[in-house]
Structure 1
Amino acid sequence: MQDYLSKFPDGIFRVPANYYLAQCAFNDGLDSIAREAYEFVASSGELSFRKQTVERLASLFYAEQNFQKAFFYYQQVLGLVGNADEGRRARLGLMRCAKSIQNTAVILQYAESLLQDEGLPGDWRTEALLNAARSAFELGDSANAKLYFTQVKNEVKGEAQAEASYVLSEFDWVTGKYQASNDEIFWMIDNLPSYPKWRWKSLILMAKNYAGLGDDFQANYTLDFVIDNADIENYSTEAQNYKSELALQREREAQQTVGVDSLSMDEFLQEEGDELDD
């Protein structure tokens, strides 16, 4: 093929010659030659080899970690799929490329598309579910983030389940459901004790819940436990910072209470004085 192309670069069979050159080069592990020849075929507009060509280009660029180019070709693959499995693979490739280039909205788009597919293999569903949950959370889509993280907690085992439990407890904390948040944390600590990152994060959140419930003794006790025992330094520091923040917050609240009480006493004395004058 290379001989033909070198002699007849503009020959009538240049497109099929480049395609078969690409196939042979790919089979021999000569990816750079294969990619160049496939790109020629893709840019020619010739339809005969288009589907196989863009599929191969998508996988080649993905393997080279050129995710922008891979995304471009996976989009073309998606428009040419002939069956459900090919469509799944194209959407999976698009989701993975979007993740690699940190396009959160597009990650969510293709993750949700995959999750609607009842024939999706289990490991792909897990991957799509995690991407959907994390992307929705990052985009501030609380409703969908909570929905997907609930599914992660119910369907996925291991550290992802601990992550989901923590995020769900954080949602409760944000909305002032402090006891519900602590209940979720207790469940996670009891059932998933092997993931220190999420354990320490959850204990700090537990302290915040206790503070929200007005139980500063338990809040400080929990923070002291993290400070003294956390084997990941930044969580010990975070606990210490929150303990100082909580103490300062309570001091300000006490000062405000004293100020209000003093104002009330001044008003009372003024009223008493007015009555005596009368």
Structure 2
Amino acid sequence: MIISAYITSKDYKGALDYLKDKKSAKERALFQKVAFYRGTELFAEGNYDLAKENFENSLSVPLDANFTARATFWKAESNYLLNNYREAATDFQKFAASSEASKTAEFKELYYNLGYAYFKQKDYGNAIEAFKKYSAKNIDDAVRKNDTYLRIGDGYFVTSSYKNAIEYYSKVIEMKGIDADYAQFQKAISYGLTGNENAKITALNAFLNSATRSAYKDDAYYILGNSYLEKNQNELAIENYDKLINNFKRSPLVSKAMLKKGLIYYNSNKNDQALTTYKTVVQQFPNSADAKQAVKNARQIYVDLGRVDEYATWVKTVDFVNVSDAELDNDTYESAEKQYLQNNHKKAIESFKKYLISFPNGLHSLNANFYLAQSLFSENKHSDAISNYSYVVNQPQNEFTEDALSRLSLVYLENNNWQKAVPLLERLESEANLPQNIIFAQSNLMKGYYADKNYAKAVDYAELVLRNNKLEDRVKSDAHIIIARSAIKTNNETKARNAYKEVEKIASGELKAEALYYSAYFENKDGNYKVSNEIVQKIAAEYSAYKYWGAKGLVLMADNNYQLKDAYQATYILESVIKNFSQFSDVVEEASTALSKIKTEQAKTNESIEN
């Protein structure tokens, strides 16, 4: 009876505690199943370490073959999300070898997930094989099919099998789905790598003409410019570099395109135009690697022209170039960088700090600040990394800007510092090239605006997030709950009603309990008091672990009973809430107000009868 109560109320943690030392076959069989369900519960909440531990506990009692197979699959999923890709692949293979695997709902996703486990290990051969198996059997899910073709194309691309890569990128383009622009861009690059430079140029021009908005347009203009440069078609090269420079001012390729323009001018004996271009790089991108190269190139021109005195005068105005200290600067930085590249983070932290003290505006201060921040982050000294990440994001756009924005915003999010996090997330959304960083920014901006009580913007971003077809259910649930809660805060109950319905479809755990509460709330509003009570009873039976929503549900049930002319039952419930849920002051206050109202109305009714 006790274990049945635990399982019926989905209190799997309590059930496991009860079964922990039980030895009978029936109880061990129950332990296997309950451990599995507890694992899926924790997995849905994003607690993958504890989820994995529970799946392993389930696997330690392999009495039911079906549950053994499913626990193996979900252990693999947990390992994958914990970045344990090798272990994930091994577990997926064990699942595939199980005679029960094909009978489970998880089997459909096996080769897709196995493909990613191999892909993350850079085992592209096995990844391609797994993705092909998935695409051969799963033809109905267009989004997954599209993604599978992309990963097969990428696998062939990185293993230099460019003709095969072109074949699969073409499949993605034909589907006209997500990341079709990426596939079109990669297809063009693949043509070039097969030696078909003309096809590459044609494909890049077609891409630029068809892709109205794409994160790869700046790359395409840069690569197309380079292709024309290799063919000595300098005017076309400059034309494409200028489109990049003028239309994508925040792209990290702008400074590189300027360097290429400077080289064209230099090789065409247009030395003054070359010098102007190089000096623009130095002015707009100080302290960057390209600015340092521009200084070197300008020096060569001045030497060629016999105008070294002009070079000396100019270079003194460049604050990040100290000619006399340059050699020591390089040596100090190189020593620190070596430690960093060897993943010796503690020594790297010490060395980079010494470098920045000695050369605060040195040749490598940008790299040094970023690598120091990364090292501190790797050593779980997240707060210590703030100043160095801040230095990087406050510099002109550079190769580290996107990573630094992502990491710095994450540090502030860990400390619930929305005031600092939101401006960084806004920048990350507008400047990021990687789709996962854009999603990260948007999904946290909706939470940040909600925390700041800017409900209109919170809803705008939640709706923007929901337009992405590749979201996990957890992120979808977060977006719908932001919409729902914002609607409640702004008294837009129609919108709240619809949003909570969406939450109820996909949520689990506490969010599910909240969604059910509001389902009961709206049934109460509609006068469906018995239906409302049934939903409250469901919360109590299946989501008893979330006592806050259970308590609020009881207050709602009291109102339902009162509306159904059962004042006695309503009074009893409200008195029980006040007595047993003192930890929730807002619920107790709500219950007290409702109780007082009922007693007042009942007193009037009694007085009327007596008179």
What TM-score do you get using the length of structure 1 for normalisation?
Answer: 0.73
From 577, 593, 598, the equivalent of 1:243 is 598
Distance in 1, Cα, partners of 2:496 & 2:386: 39
Q: Residue deviations 1:59-88, cap 9 Å, x none?
A: 122223322111111111111222432221
Q: Does 1:52 align with 2:407?
A: no
Give the deviation of 1:52 after TM superposition. Answer: 1.6
Higher relative contact order (CA 8 A, sep 6+): 1
Q: How does 1:189-268 map to 2 (within 5 A)?
A: 189-190=537-538, 192-193=540-541, 194=544, 197-209=548-560, 211-212=562-563, 215-216=564-565, 218-227=566-575, 231-233=580-582, 234=588, 237-238=592-593, 240-248=595-603, 250=605
Aligned to 1:74: 425
8 Å contact kept, 1:78–1:87: yes
- The verdict on how the C-alpha distance between 1:158 and 1:184 changes in structure 2, with shifts beyond 3 A counting, is farther
Secondary structure class of the residue paired with 2:508: coil
Q: Aligned to 1:44, what secondary structure does the other structure show?
A: coil
Aligned counterpart for 2:500 among listed residues 141, 149, 164: 149
Q: Distance in 1 between the 2:448 and 2:498 partners?
A: 24
From 519, 526, 534, the equivalent of 1:186 is 534
What is the DSSP-based 3-state SS (H/G/I as helix, E as strand, rest coil) of the residue aligned with 1:164?
Answer: helix
Give the letter aligned to residue 435 of structure 2. A
How many residue pairs get aligned? The number is 249
Q: Which amino acid aligns with 2:581?
A: I
**Secondary structure of the corresponding residue to residue 78 of structure 1:** helix
* Matched residue, 1:167: 518
1:84–1:14 distance in 2 versus 1, CA, 3 Å:
closer
Match of residue 151 from structure 2? none
- Return 5+ residue gaps in structure 2 as ranges: 1-351, 583-587
Rounded Cα–Cα distance in structure 1 between residues aligned with 2:373 and 2:552: 52
Q: What's the CA shift for 1:209? A: 4.0
Query: Quick one: structure 1 residues 184 and 76, their matched pair in 2 at CA, closer, same or farther if it must change by over 3 Å?
Result: same
> What is the aligned partner in structure 2 of residue 14 from structure 1?
365
Structure 1 runs of 4+ aligned residues shifted over 6 Å read none
Q: Quick one: distance in 1 between partners of 2:381 and 2:422?
A: 22
Correspondence list, 1:16-35, <5 A:
16-35=367-386
Q: Which residue of 1 aligns with 2:129?
A: none
Q: 1:115 aligns with which of 466, 472, 485?
A: 466
- Over the matched positions of the two proteins, sequence identity in percent amounts to 23
Q: Distance in 2 between matches of 1:196 and 1:21?
A: 45
Tell me, in whole angstroms, the C-alpha distance in 1 between the residues paired with 2:496 and 2:555: 22
| Deviation for aligned residue 1:8 | 3.1
TM-score under structure 2 normalisation?
A: 0.36
Q: Note if 1:36 corresponds to 2:384.
A: no
Contact persistence 2:501–2:519 (CA under 8 A): yes
Does the CA-based 8 Å contact 1:22-1:38 persist in structure 2?
A: yes
Flag the 1:136–1:241 CA change in 2: closer, same or farther, 3 A: same
Unaligned runs of 5+ in 1: 259-278
Answer whether contact 1:58 1:70 (CA < 8 A) is retained: yes
CA distance 1:162–1:80, shift in 2 (3 Å): same
Q: Distance in 1 between matches of 2:361 and 2:558?
A: 73
Distance of aligned partners of 1:187 and 1:236 in 2 relative to their CA distance in 1, 3 Å threshold: closer
Query: How many angstroms does 1:33 deviate by?
Result: 4.6
Q: Could you say if the C-alpha distance between residues 239 and 26 of structure 1 is closer, same or farther in structure 2, counting changes exceeding 3 Å? A: closer
Specify the code of the residue in structure 2 equivalent to 1:241: S
Task: Give, in whole Å, the separation in 2 of the partners of 1:4 and 1:158.
Answer: 50
Task: Report the CA distance shift for 1:172/1:71 in structure 2 as closer, same or farther (over 3 A).
Answer: same
Distance in 1 between residues matched to 2:384 and 2:365, nearest whole Å: 15
Q: CA deviation at 1:146?
A: 0.2
Would the aligned equivalents of 1:108 and 1:132 in 2 still touch at CA under 8 Å?
yes
| 152 and 219 in structure 1: CA distance in 2 versus 1, 3 angstrom threshold | farther
Contact 2:447-2:482 within 8 A present in 1 as well: no
Deviations along 1:155-210, one digit per CA (max 9) or x if unpaired, are 32344333323323333444xx32x2431322331464235544554444344345
Query: Tell me, what secondary structure is at the counterpart of 1:79?
Result: helix
- Residue 106 of structure 2 corresponds to none
Give SS of 2:580's match.
coil
Distance, in Å, in 2 between the alignment partners of 1:135 and 1:61 is 23
Maintained 8 Å contact 1:169/1:182: no
Letter in 1 for 2:602: A
CA deviations over 1:216-258 (Å, ceiling 9, x no partner):
3x23333234435863253764553232133256479x59xx9
- Contact 1:153–1:165 under 8 Å retained in 2: yes
Question: Which residue identity does 2:390 align to in structure 1?
Answer: E
Greater mean alpha carbon deviation, residues 142-151 or residues 23-32:
23-32
Q: For the structure 1 residues 183 and 35, does the alpha-carbon distance in structure 2 shift closer, same or farther, using more than 3 Å as the test?
A: same
Cα distance, 1:10–1:120 mapped onto 2, change above 3 Å: same
**Retained in 2: the 8 A contact 1:207–1:222?**
yes
Paired letter, 2:480: L
Secondary structure of residue in 1 paired with 2:394: helix
